[in-house]
Amino acid sequence: MSLLFGTAGTPHSSGGTDSISGVRRVHELGLGCMELEFVRGVKMGEKTAREVFEVAKNHDIRLSVHAPYFINLNAEGEKLVASKKRIIDSAIIGNICGAKSVVIHAGFIQKYPRESVYERIKKALIEIRDKLKSDGVNITLRVETMGRLSQFGTIDEALAITEVDGVLPCIDFSHLHAVSGKNNSFDEFASILSRIEEKLGRKGLDDMHIHVSGIEYSDKGEKNHLVFAESDFQYTELMQAFVVFDINGMVICESPNLEDDALVLKREYKKCFDAKI
C-alpha cells in the first residue's frame, strides 16, 4: 500500500489545535498525511514552519497545504495582486514545512466566458510559478476541482491547466459528485482516473492529491461537507477504483469528523487492496 490517508487539518482528537499537535496525532492514529489548512490566512511563521518540518519528518508524515479561500485569479487590480500573494505566501511557508503541494481554489467565472477565464487564470499561475521558481521555492500548485459551476475547476479545466509547468490537479471526488449528482459509482470513478492517466500518463496516477468527504448538494452544486454515514457518497466504490488503478499519493478527508472518516477510508482501501492480492 503506497496510498496515504490523512486529515484536512489537525484531528479533533488531538491534544492541541496547532499543526504540530496535529501531526503527532495523525501519526498516533496510524494515518500517513495531513493537510495544513491556511484557508483563513497564512498565519504560520517561519520558526513554527521549521518545527512542523522536523516533527513531520520524525514521524514520517507527508504534508500538503491548502491556500486561503479568499483567492480569485480571475479578479483585477488589487484583488488579483492579493490573491497571488496569498498563494505565494502559502507556498513559501508550506515549502519550509516540507509540503510538496499547495491546493488552490483558483477563481470564479463571474461574467466572463469560461475560455477567457481559463486564459486569465493560466497567466496568473505562470506568474506565480515564475516568482516561486526565482525564489527557490519548489512546490507543486494544485488546482482543485470545485463543487459549483460558478467556480473555475471542472475536471476538464483542472486537467487542461496542467499545461502550465509545475501545476497539477487536486481531485475532489465529492465536489465532482456534487456538481451534477453523478460521478458516484465505480465506473464513473474509473472514468475519471482513466482521464487523468490519458492526460498526465502513469505519473499522474502515481502522484495524486485527493480530497474526499460526504457531501450535501443541490441543483446548484455543493452545499456542505457531511460525514459518510449521512451522505450518499459511495466511498467504498471509490476505494475499489483506487485499488484497480493502483494509484499513489495523498487522500485528504474533509468530512466534519476528520480522522474518523479518514480511518474509514483507510480500512476500506486496505480491505479492497487485500482482496485484490
| pLDDT tens-digit map of 88-128 | 999 999 999 999 999 999 999 999 999 999 999 999 999 99
Helix axes 77-97, 46-59, angle to 10 degrees: 40
Per-residue model confidence as pLDDT tens digits over 22-76? 999 999 999 999 999 999 999 999 999 999 999 999 999 999 999 999 999 999 9
Please give the pLDDT value at position 220: 92
Mean pLDDT of 122-149: 97
- Comparing 85 with 2, which gets the higher pLDDT? 85
Closest-CA residue to 172 (of 117, 250, 113) = 250
Please give the pLDDT value at position 2: 87
Q: How far apart (Å, rounded) are the C-alpha atoms in residues 240 and 235?
A: 9
Please give the pLDDT value at position 277: 67
Would the pTM of this model clear 0.75, i.e. be above it? yes
Please give the pLDDT value at position 222: 96
Mean pLDDT of 183-203: 98
Let me know: does 173 contact 190? Beta carbons within 8 Å.
no
Displacement of CA 113 from its chain's centroid (Å): 26
Let me know: does 178 contact 139? Beta carbons within 8 Å.
no
Please give the pLDDT value at position 276: 84
Closest-CA residue to 253 (of 231, 230, 228) = 228
Task: Tell me the torsion sign for CA atoms 141, 142, 147, 151.
Answer: positive
Average pLDDT of the chain to the nearest whole number: 97
Other CB atoms closer than 10 Å to residue 59's CB: what's the count? 14
Let me know: does 12 contact 259? Beta carbons within 8 Å.
yes
CB burial readout 162-181, b (16+ within 10 A) else e: bebebbbbbbbbbbbbbbee
> Percent of the chain scored above 70 by pLDDT?
99
> Percent of the chain scored above 90 by pLDDT?
99
Q: Please, what are the domains in the chain?
A: 3-276 (3.20.20.150)
Q: Tell whether the model's pLDDT for residue 1 goes beyond 80.
A: no
